[in-house]
Amino acid sequence: MDKNINITLKVWRQKGPKEKGAFETYKLNDVSQGSSFLEMLDVLNEQLIREGKEPVAFDHDCREGICGMCSLYINGHPHGPDSAVTTCQLHMRKFSDGATITVEPWRSAGFPVIRDLMVDRYAYDKIIQAGGFVSVNTGGVPDANAIPISKKDADLAMDAAACIGCGACAAACKNGSAMLFISAKVSQLALLPQGRTEASRRVKAMIAKMDELGFGNCTNTRSCEVECPKEVSISNIARLNREFIVAKLQD
């Protein structure tokens, strides 16, 4: 049964990208375990506003685990201690009475801090802009059932397509690698006949952009897979590597 708990929060506060940040400690009493982690932060912010202080800035939007906006590093884990959830789906019942909880922004060279717990993840959009699409214009496409696709491939493509672009993979990686993110898009499109046509162009463009933006490479530590809220598998990285090697060999 859910009850109310008292907690201590150590929250990273940082005014801007170029300014020095530090942890601030806050005490919060009577937190319902039925509330989500972000609802707990709402309560903290309400308290800070009452005290005339500036609330903690953090990114969040849908609060149902699909928009990929929330991005907190909680007790050393992206999206906190629960598995297969985003921060907004993490509930306070995962913490016990008297707990001290450390909250940080994503820590990765690719994601500079904007304010407090907010980071800039535009690098991920830039990687998609480099090639994460099928080059079709609106209109003039064949009937949706014109090309049958085996259920197995469609399901595998969907597994990869579940990625929400939150950045937990790069934040969890000791190399700051974005390869799980890229492999998800490369796999989704490489598995489908619609995306096959430009598969080699796509994989080369996306990898080149990733390198340019300063993300590291994969050394198979698998921390990305463990922390991914959508359980995207690193077998996608294996597929990414195969696609990349084949594409390079064709050059």
Site for other proteins in 170-209 (CB under 8 A): 188-189, 192, 194-195
Q: Does 213 bind other proteins (CB under 8 A)?
A: no
CA-to-CA dists, residue 147 to 161, 199, 200, 238, angstroms:
20, 17, 21, 26
Instruction: Tell me if 109 contacts other proteins by CB under 8 A.
Output: no
DSSP SS3 for 58: coil
8 A C-beta contact, residue 170 and residue 215: yes
Candidates 52, 203, 171; CA nearest to 107 is: 171
Name the residue type at position 187.
S
**Is 212 near other proteins (CB under 8 A)?**
no
197 or 219, CB closer to other proteins? 197
Note whether 75 binds other proteins by CB under 8 A: no
CB of 244 within 8 A of CB of 208? no
Any contact of residue 6 with other proteins (CB under 8 A)?
no
206 half-sphere exposure, CB direction, 13 A CA radius = 31
Between 2 and 217, name the residue whose CB sits nearer to other proteins. 2
Kindly state the smallest distance separating residue 163's Cβ from other proteins, in Å: 9
Would you give the DSSP letter of residue 89?
A: G
The region of 101-109, 115-123, 173-181, 241-249 touching other proteins under the rule CB under 8 A is 115-123
- How far apart are CB 192 and other proteins at their closest, in Å? 5
Residue 64 within binding range of other proteins, rule CB under 8 A? yes
Strand partners, 22: 13
Of residues 124, 181, 215, 244, which one binds other proteins by CB under 8 A? 124
- Our CB check for other proteins shows the closer of 55 and 221 to be 55
